[in-house]
Structure 1
């Protein structure tokens, strides 16, 4: 075997990786280059021994565990690692718990054959499911790629503490948070937990099991040419489509089924869609109904059709209340998702279920997902900085209620933003009251549509950079909640710039400082 080598700078600084990730990749790819190329210096025997202290294929590090990285970048970071580590890299890296695991433990369960469900990573969507299917095929004992496989929980958990053992909650009420004229539709939704013995902490998430929109279900049944009462899985077809299966997006198994029922060029298009290709440029828009409309000559049997669909997954929402402030109750802050594709209106399954289809007084299955590394500091005197635009403010309302209930002496600073101050200032009266009492030390607001130029929370952070640095120097914890792909990235870049400017650090030192905050639990994210 060739001696290990010192890494070359093979990955450019412009590549979308952190310094730690770039260093790891340089080391990995340098190991593929022979010393004879002249660009690599062999390590000494002592250095070899230090590096080879464990299994080099699985050193316990997970440089891909970063929700801001694209799938291909994560897979590159996991190249050469054991199957379970590459499966972990395929996850969305949010540790949201929606799958019932963390990203690492879900990957372990798949690799070890303890769970056969390859489609539980809701944030990762079809891309993650396809990558897991590819990876699972590497191992003889790997889980089968069946989309509807279910597993029996290995332990009996208390009702409401896992997705596999839901409890029941009652919808108490909902009220719209946007004022008239807003371009958004956001709801404050209240639940009664008193009959379920559910408990939660500020920072946790609430899992709900929604039902599909009845009009969409009826259209699909009509496209199948079937009856509402056709027996499927011991129930009626309509009942199964309402509660058991996902109707968006169309899964690969549905395309596979349709390819068997068609011929010629149509069969080829269905097969290519099943393989992740996009022959007609419309793959991203194909939910189940649109797929049936695209292949009208195919009329699958209802039982085969249902088995080709993915199970309807629960949805997680950040809890926007503290149990100390409202015992036996829980609230969510929910954006109702509505959009148009072509001439057809599409609806967010869970958000519109909560906004309009679930009536006050009705019950629904729910569970509490304990937060993974997203909680208030143990010391109530520790100052906190909270950055949560839009519905990202939800857990910070809970944090503030919790701090008020326990009489925490630590300072509290909230950054909140949305489109327009007159229409989209959620919980304005509450936050202004908290500011008046001194609970909310600072309230920094950003409105993206009120001026000639768009202005976001990260812009407000830059304006207050000196004070943010002063709070961090005092030991403040910083929290971010909201969109992972854009907002969270921009906030982190801004934070690095603030540390560099006001902490008198180089760019690399500022990046290392922020990484240190994260490692110490002082920089926490709840992103999606």
Structure 2
């Protein structure tokens, strides 16, 4: 194993020199860069974990880390902390909380729903269920065990507060779908849409950095196929509605929940029953558990036809989907935009698609009304001082909030410098909002536009590679107090960008790798490094 050697921190400019700390730091880095042509030292996995650890004492902020490893990191901690480890603590907001508040709500028995963590999926839901059971086994010292929450009867539940209309998933507002336009050009392997909504009728507003919740419905053709597999009539009454209405609007048809396999195990016997029980316990007897949505589960057990009412009870509620807002209320009041990848794929011979993305790309028509809400951002916002420079890293649909940031800064005449890193597969077909961005650059509003295309040449080149390439200038902006923002894929891109930021700090800021890790951690603590990842 090669031992990593980190460069010493060089203090070329003495502390007595008539410069600010930021100026002195930059000058040290500038001269260090002149004196050394050594390439940036890559950040180790351990040092990457150290950034997370120093951030808030929670080293499990990593969706790529197996859940078993995350739970080991939480050993000996309070149950609510273990719950955050189970969620990987991304604070994506899709559950309607941040992770800390969601775990608190579960631990206090105020929130009975244990399946709201969208990124975590079934693994997290199973772990939360196990941790929830621990609460009754070991109540806090001196505290009486809390009663299990009663799920409110929808008839008896209090009417939603009108002042919160559209401000939470529990009280959505009506919005009008205006239209869509394809952002990709000929030859693209992707399908990305710019989506517009009219909010003027519901009076809903937002600030840049917020997310937009969409209540999509299931595809009617998909629904009818499931009804056929059940051998039922689409007019069968369930919960006061037709079976077809409930399947289309109320329940998730995505990953088959453990409760569905548990139901199937009660309705069959022999090897099929053993297999269904294994799936209900999170096992994978045939190596296909990850591909089993509700339809595939019924097809896997073709002799089982649950009663429609029992079948519906075994399914999970249909959850809204969140998207980063790509417009500014200050620039276009009453109008909201999204930037959405249509998710389509094939498993076996069956075409599948993302629920909300295909709903927005295919099934909704201009003029249609749908239920929506604004999810306030948790620590993802423009600087309070409009003069502060900002560095935005958003490849693919990660550009969404940064288009919003730019439109907002332009509408409010914010004087701070703006630098955008954008990347995708091909410059000719995947340069989203090219006319807008080039126009902002040409008129001097977008100070720098750094692009990275991963399929234009034989060698893949990503935004993190571009960051390293322009590292000296990037460090200059950091030394001037710039805020850094990252939006996009949490599992790969965000981690790679963070490591690139550490490398830039080490090479051009005259710091060792460990010192650079600490520097990036401090950026997070001070709110100068913010992420919107999923």
TM-score (norm 2): 0.87
Residue 103 in structure 1 maps to residue 136 in structure 2: no
Q: How does 1:346-357 map to 2 (within 5 A)?
A: 346-357=352-363
Q: Which residue of 271, 287, 291 maps to 1:281?
A: 287
Q: Is the 8 A contact 2:327 2:407 kept in 1?
A: yes
1:174 and 1:224 mapped to 2: Cα distance?
A: 36
Shift of 1:90: 1.3
Q: How does 1:129-528 map to 2 (within 5 A)?
A: 129-140=125-136, 156=161, 158-528=164-534
Shift of 1:142: 7.5
Cα 1:215–1:144, aligned 2, differ >3 Å: closer, same or farther? farther
**Residue deviations 1:212-235 (CA, integer Å, cap 9, x gap):** 011110100000000011000100
Cα 1:510–1:356, aligned 2, differ >3 Å: closer, same or farther? same
Cα 1:415–1:296, aligned 2, differ >3 Å: closer, same or farther? same
Aligned residues: 481
Shift of 1:155: 7.5
Cα 1:451–1:21, aligned 2, differ >3 Å: closer, same or farther? closer
Q: Is the 8 A contact 1:169 1:196 kept in 2?
A: yes
1:14 and 1:232 mapped to 2: Cα distance?
A: 51
**Residue deviations 1:365-411 (CA, integer Å, cap 9, x gap):** 00000100000001111100000000000000000000101111111
Cα 1:489–1:223, aligned 2, differ >3 Å: closer, same or farther? same
2:200 and 2:441 mapped to 1: Cα distance?
A: 31
1:147 and 1:245 mapped to 2: Cα distance?
A: 17
Q: Which residue of 69, 89, 94 maps to 2:90?
A: 94
1:86 and 1:488 mapped to 2: Cα distance?
A: 23
Cα 1:21–1:391, aligned 2, differ >3 Å: closer, same or farther? closer
1:233 and 1:205 mapped to 2: Cα distance?
A: 31
The two structures, once aligned, show a CA RMSD in angstroms of: 2.2
Larger RCO, structures 1/2 (Cα 8 Å, 6+ apart): 2
* Matched residue SS, 2:105: helix
1:418 and 1:145 mapped to 2: Cα distance?
A: 47
Shift of 1:23: 9.0
Residue 18 in structure 1 maps to residue 49 in structure 2: yes
* Matched residue SS, 1:18: helix
* Matched residue SS, 2:420: strand
Shift of 1:146: 11
* Matched residue SS, 1:416: strand
Cα 1:111–1:219, aligned 2, differ >3 Å: closer, same or farther? same
1:75 and 1:314 mapped to 2: Cα distance?
A: 28
1:137 and 1:194 mapped to 2: Cα distance?
A: 46
Shift of 1:71: 2.4
**Residue deviations 1:489-519 (CA, integer Å, cap 9, x gap):** 1001111010000001011100000000000
TM-score (norm 1): 0.87
2:124 and 2:171 mapped to 1: Cα distance?
A: 25
1:74 and 1:90 mapped to 2: Cα distance?
A: 7
* Matched residue SS, 1:137: helix
1:266 and 1:382 mapped to 2: Cα distance?
A: 63
Cα 1:14–1:420, aligned 2, differ >3 Å: closer, same or farther? closer
Question: What are the ranges of 5 or more consecutive residues in structure 1 without an aligned counterpart?
Answer: 1-12, 25-59
Shift of 1:80: 1.1
* Matched residue SS, 1:138: helix
Q: Is the 8 A contact 2:87 2:99 kept in 1?
A: yes
Where do 4+ consecutive residues of structure 1 move more than 3 Å? 13-17, 20-24, 60-70, 141-157
Q: Is the 8 A contact 2:112 2:151 kept in 1?
A: no
Moved more, 401-410 or 72-81: 72-81
* Matched residue SS, 2:135: coil
Q: State the match for 1:28 in structure 2.
A: none
* Matched residue SS, 1:268: helix
Shift of 1:289: 0.3
Q: State the match for 1:118 in structure 2.
A: 114
